[in-house]
Structure 1
């Protein structure tokens, strides 16, 4: 028996990609598969997204791009994070496109690899303010990143700045829209849309899911149970005080597996019955069962009846932050896919 199992539903990835592609009014769909496709499995998501109509893959690091290149030789792959001068040869040999975040980076990329100029329009993270001062070299695209999801005033202000700059890079592919903007602001589609969250099942808005389906299921098992009396403490430093006589259980998954330490208080399923997580350790978690269950019972950490969105509310972070933290280590978690 494995400590836990992650199951990726490729049919849901495919449906999500097809739904989004229909919304893009002729713009290309570029699948963002950085950070192991937000913890879902980069290779499987990449292949399925391309089968469903995506025309490029976007990653964050050179090594992410090179790993995909080995498995998908003909894919268009864009490395969105910075690379150093000593990595240019590997990028060129791997037929990867890069992104210039600064004038200096544009100069050393020069005519060695195809690249995209990243424009700072308000997020104030990566980006160039004035591309007129930058040598173009093999600039094939111009891009930016929205600073908010769903705020029309900020979105349209950034779009206006971006379009003004982009017209000074004639012939370049223009791309600024992410998953949220793709659904909520059609004017942002331009030539290509970069989407990661929608592909793996995160809706563009908490108020409207547009038919997007979750794609990940994470299960484990109940490894131990014991009765605890009212007033007993659980966890380091007695962090949780038992409010009434209860049955507690141990599940062999913890924050070293990617079940975030902030998830104390969230709820999971033991069989088909709810249970509360009261303490998350490095390699295990303690839970209070609403109803007794036998050792060995299946535990659903993410899946039908247990959503990443609900976990994220408890943790006070975004759901993709939780999924991106899931550890991709076969020594700890078995990964499978269904078609």
Structure 2
């Protein structure tokens, strides 16, 4: 498949079947009646919002979370989809577009609530919204003071149908973190002010903490795309992406010399090197210089020298001569080198690797049992 699909280029496989398998894994962990709002922001974590939404929709997921209005407008609208704007609406103009398109904003502060309520009043409608409260993340959401104002002045939401009360977890992937317990306690306390209203609290990591965190809807993001959402070294999710680097040039070093920019690696005579068509412009971050690991037919091979814009150099000395001569591609990411592995080598998080142009320039192939 590697050489047949793209003989002369680096290419990325995105396995939609695996994304659907991950969706089913999430569903199996949920308490009865809990729904899934799939997070497809940032172009579905860099993997293609259009393709991912279509696949999940056909699987039965009809709720999707995006960052903003621009991302929401990229999704094909049908009557069966509910699209949530995580950053809410920042102006009357944005609110009018959101209403016309049927989007549901997550309202993060009183000014957004006032704007949405005003639009609804002018149209003599009840408009759905999610009210987000801050339980300890310190990012989006109403403060304690704003919640008190909201609960003592019902006119603020007189034309709003509150779909969910929401908060976001800050440390769910860190097992037994005290902030998680405190956030859950705070969330339950605030829910008492909104009797009968549905709630959504858990992100990907929160889903695996148990039913007490599930409420009425969960919002998985990274778990769908194969990132480990737990503190365990054993990832419960399926790997979704494979990046195969095309070998542009093969070299056998004749005399001791430095390799790459800034002379950060000295090669010795007899070393076998691959020059791979992939660099930081493709999301293979520069911090992987002299740290990255690749895979080829049972062999793990180190990246040597500085990652450049369009190329990396790999020490292939471990390969038998016949394999060195015949191989055309090596695995940069996939079954043997996971997204979590790369993040560890680069001293960052998997989210950053996946969403920051990863495989952006190379050819993409979507693997699916269906046509999307």
TM-score (norm 1): 0.91
Give the aligned partner of residue 269 of structure 1: 295
Is the Cα–Cα contact under 8 Å of residues 2 and 334 in structure 1 kept in the other structure?
A: no
Aligned length in residues: 337
Please list the CA deviations of residues 159-200 of structure 1 after superposition, one character each: whole Å capped at 9, or x if unmatched: 111111122123432111011111123201011110011112
Give the aligned partner of residue 282 of structure 1: 309
Please list the CA deviations of residues 252-288 of structure 1 after superposition, one character each: whole Å capped at 9, or x if unmatched: 1111111222222111124553321123112221221
More helix by share: 2
SS at structure 2 position matched to 1:195? coil
Give the aligned partner of residue 308 of structure 1: 339
SS at structure 1 position matched to 2:282? coil
Give the aligned partner of residue 140 of structure 1: 163
Is the Cα–Cα contact under 8 Å of residues 271 and 300 in structure 1 kept in the other structure?
A: no
Please list the CA deviations of residues 193-225 of structure 1 after superposition, one character each: whole Å capped at 9, or x if unmatched: 100111121233242647421111111210012
Query: What is the CA distance between 1:119 and its match in structure 2?
Result: 0.8
SS at structure 1 position matched to 2:115? helix
Gaps of 5+ in 1: none
Query: What is the CA distance between 1:107 and its match in structure 2?
Result: 0.9
CA distance in 2, matches of 1:163, 1:280: 48
Is the Cα–Cα contact under 8 Å of residues 21 and 29 in structure 1 kept in the other structure?
A: yes
CA distance in 2, matches of 1:209, 1:40: 23
CA distance in 2, matches of 1:2, 1:338: 23
Give the aligned partner of residue 15 of structure 2: 9
SS at structure 2 position matched to 1:114? strand
Compared CA separation, residues 272 and 83, structure 1 to 2 (3 A):
farther
SS at structure 2 position matched to 1:294? helix
CA distance in 1, matches of 2:195, 2:207: 23
Query: What is the CA distance between 1:305 and its match in structure 2?
Result: 1.5
Query: What is the CA distance between 1:227 and its match in structure 2?
Result: 2.5
Give the aligned partner of residue 84 of structure 1: 90
SS at structure 2 position matched to 1:300? strand
Q: Which has the larger radius of gyration?
A: 2
Is the Cα–Cα contact under 8 Å of residues 248 and 287 in structure 1 kept in the other structure?
A: yes
The yes-or-no answer on 1:109 pairing with 2:109 is no
CA distance in 1, matches of 2:36, 2:284: 31
CA distance in 2, matches of 1:326, 1:300: 18
The yes-or-no answer on 1:128 pairing with 2:142 is yes
Give the aligned partner of residue 334 of structure 1: 364
The yes-or-no answer on 1:216 pairing with 2:241 is yes
The yes-or-no answer on 1:66 pairing with 2:73 is yes
Please list the CA deviations of residues 26-48 of structure 1 after superposition, one character each: whole Å capped at 9, or x if unmatched: 21111111112212222222233
Compared CA separation, residues 89 and 229, structure 1 to 2 (3 A):
farther
Compared CA separation, residues 105 and 2, structure 1 to 2 (3 A):
farther
Correspondences of 1:122-271 after superposition (within 5 Å): 122-130=136-144, 131-134=147-150, 135-136=156-157, 137-138=159-160, 139-148=162-171, 149-152=173-176, 153-207=178-232, 209=234, 211-228=236-253, 231-242=256-267, 245-264=270-289, 265-271=291-297
Kindly report the root-mean-square deviation, in angstroms, between the aligned alpha carbons of the 2 structures: 2.3
TM-score (norm 2): 0.83
Gaps of 5+ in 2: 1-6, 121-126, 151-155
Query: What is the CA distance between 1:11 and its match in structure 2?
Result: 1.9
Q: Which residue, 18, 23, 33 being the options, matches 2:29?
A: 23
CA distance in 2, matches of 1:228, 1:67: 50
CA distance in 1, matches of 2:271, 2:228: 37
Is the Cα–Cα contact under 8 Å of residues 308 and 322 in structure 1 kept in the other structure?
A: yes
Is the Cα–Cα contact under 8 Å of residues 135 and 183 in structure 2 kept in the other structure?
A: yes
Query: What is the CA distance between 1:4 and its match in structure 2?
Result: 2.3
Compared CA separation, residues 230 and 101, structure 1 to 2 (3 A):
farther
